[in-house]
């Protein structure tokens, strides 16, 4: 028997016990032994749960038990999850987690502590829920470098954008539906303002480069301002609007950002709808690889945590290339303003032709998007540096929308 513990018995923590029970035979085949959840650390009691008798309230009971080899941290948040994880690692217990905030903010120190203790710190479930993109990038793409990542990494916002696209819903209507279905929180800030996607693209960039960006260096833009007019324009352009977490990676630099994009329909990300996630990884040798699946939810996320448990207990994790992250040094993260994009512009005007000419002159070139609603000029500009574009926007009287176009 292999003994593990769960700290944080919420949605994902509870799912772990279910996955282990449901996949008992498969897990035993891979690990060579059964996995037994010996402790559950939580502030609450669970008298109605079959695991209620394993609940403890003192983290040291787990840390001091030599039988425990792996601890699943599914508490969320930085504190006390960081202290608890450190305690476990220092006590030579591997830690596996779904906690993206902790991995993004303190993953460097946790990985270092794991290395020093000769154990593992794994976090497959922290990005893309049940999608195995972290292991895929770390092992299957190990013979290549990663030059870019574009990901729909937040299921809630993807659901909202899908409702806006398919039903013509406004942002507020689609958000209310997402809240009614339990996808969006009552306070949807983390999802719709891009904080969740920001943490996830920081993690994936670190997986690709071993450099963890500072949150302040990762550009983040809300998707609250996307309107049905934007969705309609994106359809006429030949694509759709998606909130992307992206990284452009050079030899000694990376630019990391989260914002809404027009995604052309020849890119498979444009077909990733509802609560699904899709992550496109670009590399010079392998070219584009696309990971697709359920990026959130109790069972897919718990499944990814259990996969990490299995990889520790079966010895796979020890043999894999071990992550050795550093905080990105000054200058490594390129400012967002240094990127270049084409832009979709919607400008309220009585004279669309004159307006288009003014945009052409300012941006060095632009195509008119056909089928504009009355009283607007809509243009797709030539590629221009973000910093230059920002300096031009205030001069465009009547500018209602500007959305970057994914390359
Ligand atoms: N709120 C997140 C999402 C949960 O909607 O994708 C999974 O990280």
The ligand 1 atom at the shortest distance from the C-alpha of residue 127 is: 8
Residue 136, CA distances (Å) to 70, 76, 146, 280, 357 in order:
22, 24, 12, 12, 48
Task: Tell me: cis bond preceding 200? Omega within 30 of 0 counts.
Answer: no
Length of the chain (residues): 407
Residue 73, CA distances (Å) to 6, 121, 201, 319 in order:
6, 10, 21, 22
CA distance linking residue 204 with residue 247, whole number of Å: 9
Cα 294 to ligand 1 centroid, rounded to whole Å: 10
pLDDT at 323 over 90: no
Q: Is residue 154 within 6 Å of ligand 1 at its C-beta?
A: yes
The ligand 1 atom at the shortest distance from the C-alpha of residue 154 is: 6
Active-site option among 200, 324, 387, 407: 200
* DSSP symbol at 214: P
Note the maximum CA span of the chain: 76
- Provide the 3-class DSSP secondary structure of residue 206: helix
The ligand 1 atom at the shortest distance from the C-alpha of residue 100 is: 8
Cα 301 to ligand 1 centroid, rounded to whole Å: 10
pLDDT at 143 over 90: no
Q: Which residues contact 394 (CB under 8 A, 6 or more apart)?
A: none
pLDDT in tens, 194-204: 999 999 999 99
CA distance linking residue 205 with residue 248, whole number of Å: 9
Q: Is residue 42 within 6 Å of ligand 1 at its C-beta?
A: no
Q: Whose CA is nearest to atom 8 of ligand 1?
A: 296
Task: Give me the percent of the chain exceeding a pLDDT of 70.
Answer: 100
Decide if 105 is catalytic: no
Burial of 265 (0-12, 13-18, 19+ CB in 10 A): middle
Cα 61 to ligand 1 centroid, rounded to whole Å: 31
Cα 371 to ligand 1 centroid, rounded to whole Å: 35
pLDDT in tens, 236-283: 999 999 999 999 999 999 999 999 999 999 999 999 999 999 999 999
Q: Whose CA is nearest to atom 7 of ligand 1?
A: 296
- Provide the 3-class DSSP secondary structure of residue 219: strand
Q: Is residue 98 within 6 Å of ligand 1 at its C-beta?
A: no
pLDDT on residue 321? 66
The ligand 1 atom at the shortest distance from the C-alpha of residue 190 is: 1
- Provide the 3-class DSSP secondary structure of residue 10: coil
In the structure, what pLDDT confidence band is assigned to residue 319 with cuts at 50, 70 and 90? confident
Whether 256 and 209 have beta carbons less than 8 Å apart is answered as no
Q: Is residue 97 within 6 Å of ligand 1 at its C-beta?
A: no
Q: At what angle do helices 171-180 and 155-167 cross, to 10 degrees?
A: 130
Q: Which residues contact 351 (CB under 8 A, 6 or more apart)?
A: none
Cα 41 to ligand 1 centroid, rounded to whole Å: 23
Q: What is the CA radius of gyration of the chain?
A: 23
CA distance linking residue 171 with residue 179, whole number of Å: 12
pLDDT at 176 over 90: yes
pLDDT at 88 over 90: yes
pLDDT on residue 142? 85
Whether 86 and 76 have beta carbons less than 8 Å apart is answered as no
pLDDT on residue 240? 98
Q: Which range, of 128-142, 246-260, 311-325, averages the lowest pLDDT?
A: 311-325
CA distance linking residue 174 with residue 158, whole number of Å: 10
Whether 31 and 314 have beta carbons less than 8 Å apart is answered as yes
Whether 376 and 233 have beta carbons less than 8 Å apart is answered as no
Ligand 1 pocket mutation, candidates 190, 223, 295, 299, criterion most atoms within 8 A of CB = 295
Cα 60 to ligand 1 centroid, rounded to whole Å: 31
CA 398, chain centre distance (Å): 34
pLDDT at 322 over 80: no
Cα 183 to ligand 1 centroid, rounded to whole Å: 8
Cα 128 to ligand 1 centroid, rounded to whole Å: 8
Q: Is residue 156 within 6 Å of ligand 1 at its C-beta?
A: yes
Q: Is residue 155 within 6 Å of ligand 1 at its C-beta?
A: yes
Ligand 1 pocket mutation, candidates 191, 198, 277, 302, criterion most atoms within 8 A of CB = 191
CA distance linking residue 55 with residue 132, whole number of Å: 30
Whether 72 and 4 have beta carbons less than 8 Å apart is answered as yes
Task: Give me the percent of the chain exceeding a pLDDT of 90.
Answer: 96
Q: Record the tokens describing residue 161, joined without a space.
A: 């954008």
> Smallest Cα–Cα separation from 380: which of 344, 354, 340, 341?
344
Q: Whose CA is nearest to atom 4 of ligand 1?
A: 296
Q: Is residue 311 within 6 Å of ligand 1 at its C-beta?
A: no
């Amino acid at each position: 028997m292999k003994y593990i513990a769960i700290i944080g018995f919420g949605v994902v923590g509870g799912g772990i016990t279910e996955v282990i029970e449901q996949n008992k035979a498969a897990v035993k085949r891979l690990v060579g032994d059964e996995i037994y959840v010996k402790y559950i650390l939580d502030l609450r009691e669970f008298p109605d749960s079959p695991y209620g008798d394993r609940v403890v309230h003192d983290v040291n009971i787990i840390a001091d038990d030599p039988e425990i080899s792996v601890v699943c941290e599914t508490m969320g948040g930085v504190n006390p999850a960081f202290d608890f994880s450190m305690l476990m690692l220092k006590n030579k217990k591997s830690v596996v987690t779904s906690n993206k905030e902790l991995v993004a903010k303190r993953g460097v120190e946790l990985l270092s502590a794991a290395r020093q203790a000769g154990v593992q710190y794994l976090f497959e479930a922290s990005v893309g829920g049940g999608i195995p993109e972290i292991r895929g990038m770390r092992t299957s793409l190990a013979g290549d470098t990663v030059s870019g990542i574009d990901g729909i990494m937040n299921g809630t916002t993807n659901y909202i954008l899908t409702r806006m696209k398919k039903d013509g819903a406004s942002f507020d209507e689609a958000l209310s539906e997402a809240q009614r279905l339990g996808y969006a929180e009552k306070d949807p800030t983390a999802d719709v303002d891009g904080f969740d996607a920001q943490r996830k693209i920081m993690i994936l960039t670190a997986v690709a480069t071993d450099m963890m960006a500072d949150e302040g260096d990762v550009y983040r833009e809300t998707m609250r301002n996307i309107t049905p007019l934007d969705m309609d324009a994106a359809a006429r352009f030949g694509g759709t609007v998606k909130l992307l977490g992206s990284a452009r990676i050079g030899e000694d630099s990376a630019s990391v950002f989260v914002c809404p994009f027009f995604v052309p329909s020849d890119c498979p990300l444009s077909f990733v709808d509802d609560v699904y996630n899709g992550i496109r990884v670009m590399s010079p040798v392998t070219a584009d690889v696309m990971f697709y699946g359920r990026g959130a939810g109790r069972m897919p996320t718990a499944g990814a945590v259990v996969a990490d448990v299995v990889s520790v207990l079966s010895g796979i994790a020890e043999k894999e290339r071990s992550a050795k992250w550093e905080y990105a040094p000054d200058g490594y993260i390129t400012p967002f303003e240094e990127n270049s994009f084409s832009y979709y512009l919607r400008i309220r005007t009585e004279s669309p032709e004159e307006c288009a000419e003014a945009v052409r002159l300012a941006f060095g070139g632009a195509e008119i998007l056909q089928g504009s609603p009355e009283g607007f000029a809509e243009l797709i500009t030539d590629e221009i540096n973000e910093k230059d574009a920002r300096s031009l926007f205030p001069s465009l009287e009547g500018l209602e929308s500007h959305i970057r176009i994914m390359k």
